[in-house]
Amino acid sequence: MSADQKIRTVLYYVSVSVFLVGLPFILAFSLSYKFDRRSFKFTKTGIISVRSQPPGAGVTIDGERLADKTPLSVTELLPGTHSVTLELEGYYPYARDVEVEGARVSRLEKVILFPLRPDIQQVNKERISLFWTDDARASVYYVNQDENLVYRSDLEGNRFEQLCSFTPIAPLPRKWEISPDRTRLAYFNQRQVGIVELPQGKRKPVFPNTVILNFPSDTINDMFWYADSYHIILICRKRIVICEAREGAGPVTLVNLAKRNSAGFYDPRSDSLYFMDSQEAPDGNTYDNLYRLEMRNRVYPFTLPDFITLKGLEQRMNLLDWRLEEKKDGKKP
Amino acid sequence: MRILEIAPGALSWSIIAFFVVLAIWKPVYCAVLIIVFDFYWIIRTIYLTTLLLLANRQLAKQRRRPWFRACQKIPAWEQIYQLVIFPVYKEGPDILRPSLEALRHTHYARDRMIVVLAFEERHGPAREYGQILAREYEKTFGDLLVMFHPDRLPGEKRLKGANATWAAKRSKEYFQSRGVPLERVIVSCFDADTCVDREYFGCLAYHFLTVPQPHQASYQPVPVYNNNIWYAPAFARIIETSASFCQMIESMRIEKFVTFSSHSMSFRTLVDIDYWPVDMISDDSVVYWKAFLHFNGAYRVVPLYTTVSMDAAYSSSFFKTLWVQYKQKRRWAWGVENFAFLVSRLLKNRHIPAAVKMRRSFQLLESHVTWATWAIIIGVIGSLPMLLGGRFFAQSAIGYNLPRITGLLFDFTLYASLVWIVLSWTILPPRPKDVPWSRNLVMAAEWLIVPAVIVLLGSTPALDAQTRLMFGRYMEFSATEKTRKVV
């Protein structure tokens, strides 16, 4: 027999031996059995799988600190309750009792460690009274109601700039809202609406001053910009009105509300107005319902300034079937 | 006979089906079996990689040895004739010329070499090819015989073995007409693209003259696929290098060693066993079993630690290469037909001990069933308990540990591949000048795709071949496409 064949024979028997001896231990490990050297028996144990965010936390089980950091698996745990503590410098510790069953895995994998001293930064660079963000969460708008100024920055507070000044109204505005095309800012209290033209690059505002619209006969509860950024929709106590955002404009009533102080909102994507109102049912009771008013009209006043008129809009809001008639005439709706 | 043909495929499919059913009904049991299999495979990989290292050490040591000089010290060497048969199908001078040039440059007495170019008559340009090569090499060797195998002789199929057998029969007449005893002739049957090492025939003759009972042995060199290896796509290189490695490993397991591809043997023995099979694709291994049965088990394969280089199978595009490789591996896996051939004859043989019969039959069956199933078990079935076992299994300790142990196996395969990378470099030919240096790095990095390649081209072609045999859809021989960028 050559030397290589002798090596091979030895290797073969060593491999078979390693397989036969190692297999029980591999299977015992896989099935989570622990070999007790004293009793020379296998005991059924369980596993705790620990993961944390951020990883790298030290783990203490039943008062014994483990050498490994998260993520880790703690094997060979006897069935029963085990106290698990996760510690990471600069973070609040996390502690929990975990129930371990034999040949089962208890998962502690959604642990979030919160920092002891959160990293708080001041975003605004000037004195402010209130703030809001635009829908795209791209910009933060700030109002200084003492000095009647509006500021803007990004979410990190960078590019902080004074946007415009505004005419104050009393009592203080309840809500501030930027028009969809980001050219105007509207604010309101119970009786008044203020509208400020925002500067666009080097372009000067069309309205040099704040436009104040007064609504002495009703109480304004909410306000939305219409999709054209030229009209505003006001949810008032007794009605919902739409109004041009210009000096001296008069409101047009879209809905007279049976229910007082009703809630509503305008969805520019579907060009629909949703509002709550009550209605008497055939059984004689009055029920609250949510209604949807399809405005069915997208207008772009900067390109088609005269297309929409309040009268026409009012007709449409009253759901007159004027479109079909115009189509029959061959005219563009 | 049909039962024996069905057995390997049925066994392979049963194993796969068993695992799948078990993964659904008893995922814990399935996981236990997979872990046992994974552990077995890790041990087996260590064992086989060590054998590969030993074989590689032998190859490094012996391929540098001046075998012809050693051979010349043995007085009988001058009486030995080397008969080299190239069964040719469609290969032309561009493929055959490098093979003949390799013979021309071999360190051996060329006047003692009889070269046979055995063309298929049915191939139109064969006569033209024969004339060209006969003109070029007529005075290079002791003799150059150009033969044309008639098509569809009785009992034959259109196979390489039929062509080689026909050429061997004509060669027998040639030697008998010159009064050369067949015992003094060593026959080598080479694929058309086989380029021998310079010391191949010296090494062969030395072993033939020195081993006991030289007529009861085949002589198997290490097949490498170096002719175009630098130009072949990455996965083709890996497959071909792995095939070389497999042969090197087999050369260390002498009691299981069977002839493969280009090999040599006593011409007397070849005649006595009635040549290669004329109706079986795997003629290279069947000829061994024929000799094994003829000598009642007293037949062996002697490893020659010298190389014969062939073409790596590849084509003009990635998918064509994939298909060429797949077909070639399926053809190799068609060697499963040997099982029915061997067992049916062993049952009739009363001289071979029952233990030997059982062992050799089992080894043959086990090797083919393992080939068809192991990559599928590791690569596909290994993850089935996790997918099909449900929430209860996922919460169990074994469900938690199974992917870790399977991952360990893959990690281990990657570590082992570092050894394979180093070894693959030792059998690589020098880098051609038109190949950039960076290809060295690519060749090392390509071993990382081993897990993907073994699933794709490891078990699937073998399972395909076994299934075809199982259903009696017998394969036709299809010559592997030869593509060379540089000849």
Min Cα distance B419 → chain A (Å) is 18
- In this predicted structure, what is the pLDDT of residue A279? 87
Q: Which residue of A has its CA nearest to B392?
A: A104
**Rounded CA separation A186/A189 (Å):** 11
Nearest one of B255, B460, B221, B215 to B363, comparing CA atoms: B255
pLDDT at A317 over 70: no
pLDDT tier at A301 (50, 70, 90 boundaries)? very low
Q: In the block, which residue shows the tokens 């070389």?
A: B244
Name the pTM for this structure. Answer: 0.70
Residue pLDDT, tens place only, A82-131: 999 999 999 999 999 999 988 888 999 999 999 887 678 889 999 999 99
Report the Cα A274 to chain-centroid distance in Å.
Answer: 21
Min Cα distance B47 → chain A (Å) is 7
- In this predicted structure, what is the pLDDT of residue A205? 56
- In this predicted structure, what is the pLDDT of residue A312? 45
Helix (H, G, I), strand (E, B) or coil at B297: coil
Mark yes or no for CB contact B54/A32 under 8 Å: no
CB B118 within 8 A of CB B85: yes
Tell me the one-letter amino acid at B213: Q
CB atoms closer than 10 angstroms to residue B123: 17
**Rounded CA separation B207/A205 (Å):** 102
- In this predicted structure, what is the pLDDT of residue B227? 85
Residue pLDDT, tens place only, B313-358: 877 777 888 888 888 889 889 989 999 999 999 999 889 999 999 9
Percent above pLDDT 90 for chain B: 52
**Contacts A7 to B, Cβ<8 Å:** 50, 54
Asked if the C-beta of B396 comes within 8 angstroms of chain A's C-beta atoms, the answer is yes
H/E element holding A285? none
pLDDT in tens, chain B (487 residues): 788 999 999 999 999 999 999 998 889 899 999 999 989 988 998 999 999 999 999 999 998 899 999 999 998 888 999 999 999 988 889 989 999 999 999 999 999 999 999 999 888 898 999 999 999 998 899 999 999 999 888 888 888 899 999 999 999 999 999 999 999 999 999 999 999 999 999 999 999 999 999 999 999 999 998 888 888 877 788 888 888 999 899 999 888 899 998 899 999 999 999 999 998 888 899 999 999 999 999 999 999 999 999 888 877 777 888 888 888 889 889 989 999 999 999 999 889 999 999 999 999 999 999 989 988 888 888 888 888 887 788 888 888 888 888 888 778 877 887 888 888 888 888 888 888 888 777 777 777 777 777 767 778 999 999 999 999 888 776 655 555 544 3
Q: What is the b/e burial string over B73-85, where b = at least 16 CB atoms within 10 angstroms of the residue's CB?
A: eeeebeebbbbbb
Best residue of A30, A44, A51, A75 to probe chain B, by most B CBs closer than 10 Å:
A30
Q: Which residue of B has its CA nearest to A6?
A: B252
**Rounded CA separation B434/B228 (Å):** 13
Chain A residues with CB under 8 Å of a chain B CB are 4-5, 7-8, 11-12, 15, 18-19, 22-23, 26-27, 29-32, 46-47, 49, 73, 103-105, 107
**Rounded CA separation A245/A223 (Å):** 12
Interface of B with A in 221-260 (CB under 8 A): 252-254
Residue pLDDT, tens place only, A282-294: 888 989 999 999 8
Mean pLDDT of A20-47: 84
The beta-carbon neighbor of A31 closest among B47, B50, B398 is B398
Encoded tokens for B108: 């051996």
Residue pLDDT, tens place only, B48-101: 999 999 999 999 999 889 999 999 999 888 899 999 999 998 888 998 999 999
Report the Cα A54 to chain-centroid distance in Å.
Answer: 23
- In this predicted structure, what is the pLDDT of residue B194? 92
- In this predicted structure, what is the pLDDT of residue B477? 60
Interface of B with A in 405-434 (CB under 8 A): 405
Residues 6+ apart with CB under 8 A from B120: B88, B89, B90, B126, B148, B149, B151, B163
Nearest one of A161, A97, A96, A98 to A125, comparing CA atoms: A161
Is residue B338 packed enough to be buried (19+ CB in 10 Å), middle (13-18) or exposed (0-12)? buried
Residue pLDDT, tens place only, B249-287: 999 988 889 999 889 999 999 999 999 999 888 889 999
> Can you give the C-alpha Rg of chain A in angstroms?
35
Asked if the C-beta of B58 comes within 8 angstroms of chain A's C-beta atoms, the answer is yes
Q: In the block, which residue shows the tokens 């080689």?
A: B164
